[in-house]
A = this chain, B = another copy of it.
Amino acid sequence: MVKEIFDHVSVREYADKEIPESVLNKVLEAASRASNTGNMQIYSIIVNTDKEMIAKLAPTHFCQPAITNAKAVLTFCADINRFKIWCENRNAKAGFDNFLTFMTAATDAIIAAQNACLEAESNGLGICYLGTVIYNADKIIEILKLPKGVVPVATVTMGYPKQQLPLTERLPLEAIVHRETYHNFDKADIDRIYAETESLESNKKFVAENNKQTLAQVFAEVRYTKEGNEQASKCLLDVLKKQGFLPNE
């Protein structure tokens, strides 16, 4: 059993204690051991430990506490830039300016990110993924000086946890696992699958605070709205065009 997997909780408040270089190095090495497509390693990791740089990045992640007091911020990027330069220097005709290569590189970057997270946790660090990385990829590209061919896809913040936290609830396995083919969900399935989550006091409080009737309304109408999602989609698709992974119509 990989203990770190089953003990994982997202940590958003970090103690005022620096991460030793030796630990950070182990985390990065763990990332580099990850499965990746054809062993091309078409990803990169931008490591920010400088306070000023972290402060610059913070607004692109809506200044969440997880970034404002982070001791290290790791931005994992789909990266075809280095590989293309290698190809050019070795007289090879590269054809990586397309969506498939972006998805391949993004997948490799995210697998590497999860290795880094587990190794960090194994060294006593707390981690938090920031989904905001793809909302403001354009601004992150500017701050981190990412060249064409490089797109940030996963941001992880790290630090020593300020306090111990309880595990977060998860849906029962039947909600996410399908044997042989996909089984769709009827009303009774949905009621059963979501019963525990909906009955938690913390979630009931969350619904009340947001002046909503159901937990689903909080997610769909407050946290992840159609308008917000569509605006961010447009921004992200523009980034993919600008960075060379989608054609500029």
Contact = CB atoms under 8 A, between A and B. Distances in A.
Interface string A112-142: 1111011100110001110100110000000
Given A5-B33, A41-B170, A100-B229, A92 B190 contact: no
A3 B146 CA distance: 32
Contacts of A107: 110, 131, 134, 153-154
A202 B145 CA distance: 36
A187 B87 CA distance: 11
A211 interface: no
Contacts of A87: 216, 219-220
Contacts of A104: 131, 134
A150 interface: yes
Q: How extensive is the interface on chain A, given as a class?
A: 35 or more
Given A91-B213, A134-B103, A219-B87, A129 B145 contact: no
Interface of A: 1-2, 4-6, 8, 10, 25-26, 28-35, 37-41, 43-50, 53, 79, 81-83, 85-87, 89-96, 98-101, 103-104, 106-107, 110-115, 117-119, 122-123, 127-129, 131, 134-135, 143-147, 150, 153-154, 168-171, 173, 175-182, 184-185, 187, 190-191, 193-194, 213-217, 219-221, 223-227, 229-230, 232-233, 236-237
21 contacts: A28-B176, A29-B173, A35-B127, A38-B219, A38-B223, A38-B224, A40-B224, A47-B180, A48-B180, A53-B181, A81-B185, A89-B187, A92-B217, A92-B220, A98-B229, A100-B232, A103-B106, A106-B106, A112-B176, A143-B181, A144-B181
